[in-house]
Amino acid sequence: MGEEHQYLFIDFEFTMPEKGGAFRGFYPEIIEAGIVSVINSQICEEFSSYVTPVRFPNLSERCKSFLHISQEQVDEGITFLELVEKMKDMNQSRPCTIITWGNMDMRVLRNNCNQAGTAFPFRGKEIDLSMEYKRFFGDQNQTGLWKAVQEYGKEGTGKHHRALDDALTTYNIFRLVEKDKKYLQKPEPTTIGDRVDFSKLFNKFA
């Protein structure tokens, strides 16, 4: 019996520069993390925390107003290295698939790890669910997370741009898409024997 497979649904919120501001050497840093661990279609752990940025510790006004995150919240958050350790712990016990909406979360995490001189915490397949959604529905453009869930006639969980709420919403869309995929899988083609009752046919000519 193989180990149980784990799906980690992840969403991060990042720092943002002021519009038109000259932030020399700016790069986005994770300031809030939401992770949902799912095994056997059951949520077995939820993790949520603010994270203190290192390179640009003071949030821009644009970032605070867009994400509704205060300076005090990130100042009291965990360190980035503590976040990396938490992610390592969640990933190491079993085979794992990482699922995000869009490719920014993993790109920013990789860059933040490089900047901090620490190893990337995840092993396993990474899936950008927004691209799966785009291919599945044949959309021309990538759809935003909450627009996608509303296209299913549902509402997102909690508040948009709250990391854990967005991670839970990503999980909900994943379940809806997987259900649709199963529904659309073609059944095995019937053989001629299934379509014609040969016993009746032979009796007719007997």
Q: Give the rounded distance of the alpha carbon of 109 from its chain centre.
A: 13
Annotated catalytic residue within 85, 126, 132, 161: 161
Annotated catalytic residue within 3, 13, 72, 155: 13
pLDDT value for 22: 63
Identify the CA nearest to 41 among candidates 7, 69, 16.
7
Contact 109, 12 (CB under 8 A): yes
pLDDT value for 191: 52
Q: Which domains does the chain have, with CATH numbers?
A: 6-17+26-185 (3.30.420.10)
The two three-digit tokens of residue 1, written as one number: 């019996």
SS3 of residue 9 by DSSP: strand
> Is 161 considered catalytic here?
yes
pLDDT value for 178: 85
Task: Give the H/E segment covering residue 82.
Answer: helix 80-92
CA 21/CA 37 separation, integer angstroms? 38
pLDDT value for 3: 67
pTM as predicted = 0.83
Beta strands in the chain (DSSP E): 6-14, 30-39, 42-50, 96-100, 125-128
Per-residue pLDDT of the chain (206 residues; tens, 9 = 90+): 346 899 999 999 999 998 876 677 899 999 999 999 999 999 999 999 999 999 999 999 999 999 999 999 999 999 999 999 999 999 887 889 999 999 999 999 999 999 999 999 998 899 999 998 888 877 767 778 878 878 877 776 777 779 999 999 999 999 988 887 777 665 555 555 455 554 554 554 44
The two three-digit tokens of residue 64, written as one number: 């605070």
